[in-house]
């Protein structure tokens, strides 16, 4: 595991320990099942961004720019699909769904973890030069 991977995973673990806990403690919405919405939203954000990070990170290890572009495009399309499917399935199939808590947690996780991904993957090329 590279130093970049450790930074990403450490940042993701720190965000996972802090952000959902703050949302639970802050109770931004008066939903009966807000805790469940926050947890499910964050977990789905992790399941969306972490594979994308490893896909891009692996693509950067090669000199083939086409592989990087395919990984980036595939990750973008995969993210879009996961976001749409996750939101629709949660809203439709969860009884008394805490949609506001879910959406807040999911999109906070999505944005924070994407920012972390960009900083760790795109910020530096494998040989240490800035992209």
**How does pLDDT run across 75-98, given as a tens digit for each residue?**
888 888 988 998 899 889 988 889
Task: Break the chain into its structural domains and give their ranges.
Answer: 3-122
Taking residues 68-73, report their average pLDDT.
81
Helix, strand, coil percent values for the chain (each to nearest 5) = 80, 0, 20
- In this prediction, residue 118 has a pLDDT band, given cuts at 50, 70 and 90, of confident
Convert the pLDDT of each residue in 8-28 to its tens digit: 999 999 999 999 999 999 877
- In this prediction, residue 125 has a pLDDT band, given cuts at 50, 70 and 90, of low
pLDDT of residue 131: 42
pLDDT of residue 63: 76
d(CA 27, CA 11): 24
CA distances 29 to 17, 22, 34, 45, 110, Å, are 20, 13, 7, 19, 19
Mean pLDDT of the chain: 86
CA distances 103 to 23, 28, 41, 62, 81, Å, are 12, 12, 7, 36, 16
């Amino acid at each position: 595991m590279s130093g970049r991977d450790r930074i990403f995973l450490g940042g993701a673990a720190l965000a996972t320990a802090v952000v959902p806990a703050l949302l639970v403690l802050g109770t931004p919405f008066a939903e009966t099942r807000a805790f469940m919405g926050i947890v499910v939203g964050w977990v789905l954000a992790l399941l969306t961004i972490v594979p994308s990070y490893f896909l891009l990170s692996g693509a950067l290890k090669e000199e083939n720019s086409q592989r990087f572009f395919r990984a980036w495009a595939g990750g973008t399309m995969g993210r879009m699909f996961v976001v749409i499917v996750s939101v629709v399935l949660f809203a439709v199939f969860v009884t008394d769904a805490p949609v506001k808590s879910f959406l807040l947690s999911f999109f906070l996780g999505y944005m924070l973890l994407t920012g972390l991904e960009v900083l760790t993957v795109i910020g530096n090329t494998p040989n240490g030069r800035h992209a």
